[in-house]
């Protein structure tokens, strides 16, 4: 790898984006089916709402389970190969979705094919995202880890924001085959583009056992998972919250959340290198918690909008800030494993938010989830305060 010390910010960003584009392909593939598949399973195949939701959740758990393995493979085989394998899995999910549409006359078979496709997509997500991030770090150097993770997050949320409405539009025009074909094409194009890029030389050295990697990064991952709850409750329940109060404009609140997220990510990601990931995450959790408390006590939609913007802005730097610190805990040849293990806590947080918050709503009402989420974020803040007082350890 050539030295990157003399590169300008623009040149660094260009190098990063040339790799992070694969994350964009991956998460566009994730976003396209989100608003379409539940309706297909419920209305066309005739299954219950529970089964419709389960089809979506299968992907999250496949991602969660495969995250640590994706990092280990990236360390052993190199990030390029892992990204290419992830793109193949994403493309296969599109192929299986097309076949599921063609077999909808046999609902059980169509549902089975969709479920297998969701597993492929979950594995593809973890492999492509983790591999792209590690690839980007290798391309520009470990000093730019915060910049790489920040761009990876922008690509992720931009793709998700585009994917859902685009999937609905393609489904209206062409049925499931519309968005599924696009997923296949992105898998093929991404595989070809990744294959044309030079591979990163894999460091031949003994790697840290997984249990040691986990022991070094789990506290950072736990704080990340707790902080993810704020994002999870807004993404999942803000529409229902507006409806319960007979308000309109829930989509605008989601837009403001995304705007706060992307604006802060682009404008202030350099603060992670300047002040350190723990200090940045401390301020981030404070802002996120305040946003959730505003939503909890909101008496009008504009206050909810303000709270959503603050929550998105607060959560924005959490992943890169803590990710930088997590990666520092291990030697370079084990950074992929650390990144994959750390990221798994994000998936776990998102996977648990829906059912746990749903149970809480059943017992305490819709209003309660915003206070509960704020308290969870406060717990993450306390963990960071504790970590700031812990002595620094040499990487393993």
Per-residue pLDDT tens digits for 36-62:
887 889 889 998 867 877 887 788 889
**Residue 119 · residue 174 · CB < 8 Å:** no
Counting Cα atoms < 13 Å in the Cβ hemisphere of 5 gives 1
CATH class of the structural domain 210-387: mainly alpha
**Residue 288 · residue 377 · CB < 8 Å:** yes
- The mean of the pLDDT values for the chain is 88
Confidence of residue 35 (pLDDT cuts 50, 70, 90): confident
Confidence of residue 253 (pLDDT cuts 50, 70, 90): confident
**Residue 136 · residue 152 · CB < 8 Å:** yes
Going 392 to 202 to 155 to 270, the CA torsion angle's sign is positive
145-196 per-position pLDDT tens digit: 888 888 888 888 788 778 877 888 898 899 999 999 999 999 999 999 999 9
The whole-number average pLDDT for the span 262-284 is: 91
Residue 185: predicted pLDDT: 97
Residue 4: predicted pLDDT: 61
Residue 278: predicted pLDDT: 95
**Residue 130 · residue 67 · CB < 8 Å:** yes
The whole-number average pLDDT for the span 350-356 is: 78
Residue 202: predicted pLDDT: 62
9-19 per-position pLDDT tens digit: 888 889 999 99
Confidence of residue 296 (pLDDT cuts 50, 70, 90): very high
What number of other Cβ atoms are within 10 A of residue 313's Cβ? 24
Percent of the chain with pLDDT over 70: 96
- DSSP helix/strand/coil, 248: coil
Residue 249: predicted pLDDT: 82
CA distances from 79 to 83, 137, 175, 264, 294 (A): 6, 10, 35, 28, 42
Residue 227: predicted pLDDT: 93
**CA 42, CA 191: separation in Å to the nearest integer?**
33
Model pTM above 0.85: no
CA distances from 258 to 5, 78, 255, 345 (A): 33, 32, 5, 21
CA angle 38, 188, 115 (to 5 degrees): 25
197-251 per-position pLDDT tens digit: 987 766 655 667 878 889 999 999 999 999 989 888 887 788 778 888 898 887 7
Residue 91: predicted pLDDT: 97
Residue 26: predicted pLDDT: 95
Residue 13: predicted pLDDT: 87
Q: What is the DSSP string of 120-164?
A: HHHHHHHHHHHHHHHHHHHHH-GGGHHHHHHHHHHHHHHHHHHHH
Domain ranges of the chain: 11-196, 210-387
In this structure, CATH architecture of domain 11-196? Up-down Bundle (1.20)
Answer whether residue 118 shows pLDDT above 50.
yes
Answer whether residue 288 shows pLDDT above 70.
yes
The H or E element that residue 196 is part of is helix 176-196
Q: 11-196 with 210-387: one CATH topology?
A: yes
Going 372 to 376 to 381 to 382, the CA torsion angle's sign is positive
Structure-block tokens of residue 189: 């194009």
Residue 2: predicted pLDDT: 46
The whole-number average pLDDT for the span 338-364 is: 83
**CA 67, CA 351: separation in Å to the nearest integer?**
14
**CA 285, CA 281: separation in Å to the nearest integer?**
6
Residue 206: predicted pLDDT: 64
The whole-number average pLDDT for the span 370-380 is: 96
């Amino acid at each position: 790898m050539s030295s990157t010390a003399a590169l300008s910010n623009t040149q660094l960003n260009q190098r990063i984006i040339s790799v992070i584009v694969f994350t964009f392909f991956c998460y566009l593939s994730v976003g396209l089916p989100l608003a379409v598949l539940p309706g297909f399973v419920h209305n066309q195949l005739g299954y219950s709402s529970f089964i419709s939701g389960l089809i979506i959740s299968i992907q999250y758990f496949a991602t969660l389970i495969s995250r640590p393995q994706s990092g280990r493979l990236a360390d052993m085989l190199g990030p390029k190969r892992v990204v290419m394998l992830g793109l193949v899995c994403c493309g296969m999910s599109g192929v299986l979705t097309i076949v599921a549409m063609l077999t909808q006359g046999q609902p059980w078979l169509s549902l089975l094919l969709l479920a297998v496709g969701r597993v492929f997509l979950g594995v593809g997500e973890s492999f492509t995202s983790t591999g792209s991030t590690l690839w980007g770090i290798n391309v520009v150097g470990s000093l730019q880890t915060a910049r790489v993770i920040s761009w990876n997050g922008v690509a992720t949320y931009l793709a998700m924001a585009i994917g859902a409405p685009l999937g609905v539009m393609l489904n209206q025009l062409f049925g499931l085959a519309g968005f599924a074909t696009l997923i296949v094409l992105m898998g093929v194009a991404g595989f070809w583009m990744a294959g044309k890029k030079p591979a990163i030389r894999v460091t031949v050295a003994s790697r840290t056992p997984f249990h040691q990697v986990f022991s070094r990064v789990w506290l950072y991952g736990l704080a990340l998972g707790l902080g993810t709850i704020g994002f999870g409750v807004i993404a999942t329940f803000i529409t229902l919250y507006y409806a319960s109060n007979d308000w309109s404009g829930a989509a605008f609140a989601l837009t403001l959340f995304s705007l706060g997220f992307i604006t802060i990510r682009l404008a202030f990601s350099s603060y992670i290198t300047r002040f350190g990931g723990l200090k940045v995450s401390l301020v981030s959790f404070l802002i996120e918690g305040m946003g959730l408390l505003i939503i909890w006590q909101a008496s009008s939609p504009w206050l909810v909008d303000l709270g959503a913007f603050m929550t998105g802005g607060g959560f924005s730097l959490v992943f890169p800030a803590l990710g930088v610190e997590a990666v520092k805990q291990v030697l370079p040849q084990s950074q992929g494993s650390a990144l994959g293990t750390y990221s798994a806590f994000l998936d776990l947080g998102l996977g648990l938010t829906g059912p746990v918050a749903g149970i809480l709503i059943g017992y305490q009402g819709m209003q309660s989830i915003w206070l509960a989420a704020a308290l969870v974020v406060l717990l993450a803040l306390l963990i960071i305060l504790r970590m700031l007082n812990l002595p620094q350890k040499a990487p393993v």
